[in-house]
């Protein structure tokens, strides 16, 4: 299958996300992208339609968007915040309080981003205890006192439910830390709360909308409030961009860290699968699921990864960052994945020039063929088989207060609460998965073998070897479309090769490379298995050479940009 002709990641495919981007499309994209938030407890749901939003009210329109912009310590990236805490310029308690104030001001009010679904009721007390330790000359680690948000499909031992945004899990208070959360705590991080997400990590419906959940409502993109925040780590991406925490953890099956980082204008890193433990994360796929850091800078992501990594590799990802790592590096340019949008291609070409100026040797790669017939069908089938097996296993491990113990139970629960759960889209993926057999089925075995071969030895590894390059680069995705509760996600022609890294289980980093009329776009760095340190260092070198991250402006729409407003007006 020639992906340039088939349009996979190119002009005829939306390859939209579920925590899972499953390839969609031909003439129209299939939508797998993905109400008030009870900030102190995410066990209550609202039935407000996600399309109703305060940004459209007269009161909100009269507010100056500049008043929503972060100032002082909250505007700084994670490494600078850590420097300030270490130097005694700010305390962890005051930092947590400032973040809580900002969440109240712009997540529940003002532009009402709805990116934070729950707050840790003990965050202030924990921050105070961390300050007392520091006053005695003791620190737990390099993240001591740093407030971090977790996507709400990740368990923590705090008094917060892990809901995946669903009513069925509103009482899922497990009292256990996912191993990477335990690692963050051991490094000194404060778990500030949980972020909203595309419900069930966007693996419930073929016609979903990114960033919507029954418990959290619709996440808003802080750059333009009517723009898609992508998913499924929508809240993590929006919250980091809006300076609601120093960093956040997202999860990805296929695109769910990279896409929201891309459209929210931040750094996102999807590690090699199993470098970060999958335990105590609401699952989709054991072959593709991973948690990863989402921050304003590559160094911040590396600092978080040092704490999160639980795999066999003993690597200091911060120490491995080298600002001159592009010098002499051979980089493969994935032209087959650049898409058709001329604005994206222009920014991508400018990024390539920056790579060359930093000393990289660029090798153009025009075409790619996985060699797998019906790749899309195989990829979708494999995820559905794994989801059924893993979600049944996960639900069986939840507290007795969770009444849905199987996927079949979830489907029936959603039918009973259709007024909330099915108000905007169906549960077609759930139903398709439930109809399948177990992992011993030959259909599953052949499907997973085909897609992994097509993205590993006949995919990324082949491209790296045949072109003698250390990494592949491409745009990280399309420009964000508008939120559409009527049609669900409607994405423009796709760009990016992230699906290859996702299915292969290989590392993938996105770094901001600019914007188009205020809508962010990123550049991707993709490598082979366990090349995480190399990929982070290459992205760090690009970031240091370009500094393309933009703070969000909280505009109601693109028409608030002077050049767009002028072009949209009828000539007089």
The per-residue pLDDT for 571 is 87
Q: What three-state secondary structure class fits 105?
A: helix
The confidence band for 50, taking pLDDT boundaries of 50, 70 and 90, is very low
From CA 504, how far away is CA 260, in angstroms rounded?
A: 20
The confidence band for 572, taking pLDDT boundaries of 50, 70 and 90, is confident
Q: Are 64 and 242 in contact (CB under 8 A)?
A: no
Q: Residue 476 catalytic?
A: no
The per-residue pLDDT for 314 is 86
Of 94, 96, 149, nearest to 123 (Cα)?
A: 96
Q: Are 463 and 365 in contact (CB under 8 A)?
A: yes
From the list 232, 234, 285, 287, the catalytic residue is: 232
pLDDT in tens, 530-545: 999 999 999 999 999 9
Residue 5 has pLDDT above 60, yes or no: no
CB within 8 A of 563, min separation 6: which ones? 517
The per-residue pLDDT for 564 is 96
The confidence band for 8, taking pLDDT boundaries of 50, 70 and 90, is very low
The confidence band for 61, taking pLDDT boundaries of 50, 70 and 90, is low
Residue 249 has pLDDT above 80, yes or no: yes
Percent of the chain exceeding pLDDT 70 equals 89
**Average pLDDT estimate for 471-489:** 97
From the list 33, 115, 151, 210, the catalytic residue is: 151
From CA 505, how far away is CA 216, in angstroms rounded?
A: 29
124 vs 47, more confident = 124
The confidence band for 35, taking pLDDT boundaries of 50, 70 and 90, is very low
From CA 43, how far away is CA 399, in angstroms rounded?
A: 14
Residue 89 has pLDDT above 50, yes or no: yes
Residue 312 has pLDDT above 90, yes or no: no
From the list 92, 156, 256, 476, the catalytic residue is: 256
Q: Which of 27-31, 374-378, 472-476, 557-561 has the lowest mean pLDDT?
A: 27-31
Residue 47 has pLDDT above 90, yes or no: no
pTM: 0.92
Strand order in the sheet with 330-334: 116-119, 190-195, 147-151, 247-252, 290-295, 267-270, 508-516, 519-526, 471-475, 330-334, 361-365
**Average pLDDT estimate for 130-155:** 98
Residue 43 has pLDDT above 70, yes or no: no
Q: Are 164 and 153 in contact (CB under 8 A)?
A: yes
- State the Rg of the chain over Cα: 22
The confidence band for 210, taking pLDDT boundaries of 50, 70 and 90, is very high
The per-residue pLDDT for 386 is 98
Count of CB atoms within 10 A of residue 347's CB?
Answer: 21
The per-residue pLDDT for 157 is 98
Q: Within a 13 Å sphere around the CA of 532, how many CA atoms are in the beta-carbon half? A: 27
**Average pLDDT estimate for 417-421:** 98
The per-residue pLDDT for 318 is 98
Q: Residue 537 catalytic?
A: no
The confidence band for 63, taking pLDDT boundaries of 50, 70 and 90, is confident
Q: What is the CA 480 to chain-centroid distance, rounded?
A: 14
Residue 499 has pLDDT above 90, yes or no: yes
Residue 36 has pLDDT above 60, yes or no: no
The per-residue pLDDT for 62 is 65
Domains identified in the chain and CATH numbers? 3-568 (3.90.1300.10)
From CA 379, how far away is CA 373, in angstroms rounded?
A: 11
Q: Residue 151 catalytic?
A: yes
């Amino acid at each position: 299958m020639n992906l340039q002709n088939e349009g996979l990641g190119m002009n005829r495919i939306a390859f939209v996300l579920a925590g899972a981007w499953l390839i969609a499309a031909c003439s129209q994209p299939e939508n797998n992208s993905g109400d008030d938030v009870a900030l102190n407890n995410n066990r209550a749901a609202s039935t407000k339609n996600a399309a109703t939003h305060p940004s459209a009210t007269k009161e909100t329109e009269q507010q100056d968007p500049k008043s929503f912009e972060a100032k002082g310590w909250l505007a700084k990236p994670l490494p600078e915040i850590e420097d300030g805490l270490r130097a005694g310029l700010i305390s962890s308690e005051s930092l947590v309080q400032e973040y809580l104030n900002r969440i109240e001001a712009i997540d529940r009010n003002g532009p009402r981003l709805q990116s934070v679904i729950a707050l840790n009721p003990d965050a202030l007390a924990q921050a105070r205890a961390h300050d007392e330790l520091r006053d005695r000359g003791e620190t737990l680690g390099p993240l001591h006192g740093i407030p971090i948000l977790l996507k709400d499909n990740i368990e923590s031992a705090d008094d917060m439910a892990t809901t995946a945004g669903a009513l069925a899990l509103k009482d899922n208070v497990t009292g256990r830390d996912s191993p990477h959360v335990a690692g963050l705590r051991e490094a000194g991080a404060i778990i500030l709360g949980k972020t909203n997400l595309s419900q069930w990590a966007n693996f419930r419906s073929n016609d979903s909308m990114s960033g919507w959940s029954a418990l959290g409502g619709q996440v808003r993109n802080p750059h333009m409030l009517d723009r898609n925040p992508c998913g499924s780590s929508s809240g993590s991406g929006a919250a980091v961009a809006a300076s609601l925490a120093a960093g956040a953890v997202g999860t990805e099956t296929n695109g769910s860290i990279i896409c929201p980082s891309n459209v929210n204008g931040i750094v996102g890193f999807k590690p090699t699968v199993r470098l970060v433990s999958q335990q105590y994360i609401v699952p989709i796929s054991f072959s593709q699921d991973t948690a990863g850091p989402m921050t304003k800078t590559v160094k911040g992501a590396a600092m978080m990864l040092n704490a999160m990594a639980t795999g066999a590799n003993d690597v200091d990802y911060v120490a491995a960052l080298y600002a001159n790592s592009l010098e002499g590096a051979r980089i493969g340019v994935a032209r087959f994945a650049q898409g058709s949008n001329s604005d994206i291609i222009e920014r991508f070409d400018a990024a390539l020039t920056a790579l060359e100026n930093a000393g990289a040797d660029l090798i153009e790669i025009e075409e790619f063929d996985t060699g797998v017939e019906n790749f899309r069908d195989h990829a979708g089938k494999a995820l559905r088989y794994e989801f059924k097996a893993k979600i049944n296993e996960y639900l069986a491990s939840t507290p007795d207060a969770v009444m849905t113990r199987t996927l079949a139970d979830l489907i029936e629960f959603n039918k009973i609460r259709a007024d909330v759960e099915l108000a905007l889209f169906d549960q077609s993926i759930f139903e398709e998965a439930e109809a399948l057999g177990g992992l011993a089925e030959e259909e599953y075995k052949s499907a997973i073998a085909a897609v992994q071969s097509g993205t590993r030895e006949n995919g990324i590894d082949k491209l790296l070897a045949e072109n003698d390059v250390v990494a592949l680069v491409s745009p990280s995705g399309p420009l964000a479309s508008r939120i559409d509760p009527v049609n669900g996600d409607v994405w423009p022609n796709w760009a990016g090769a992230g699906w290859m890294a996702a299915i292969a289980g290989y590392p993938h980093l996105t770094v901001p490379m600019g914007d188009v009329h205020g809508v962010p776009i990123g550049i991707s760095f993709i490598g082979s298995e366990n090349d995480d340190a190399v990929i982070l260092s290459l992205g760090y070198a690009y970031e240091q050479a370009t500094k393309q991250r933009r703070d969000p402006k909280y505009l109601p729409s693109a028409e608030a940009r002077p050049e767009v407003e002028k072009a949209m007006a009828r000539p007089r």
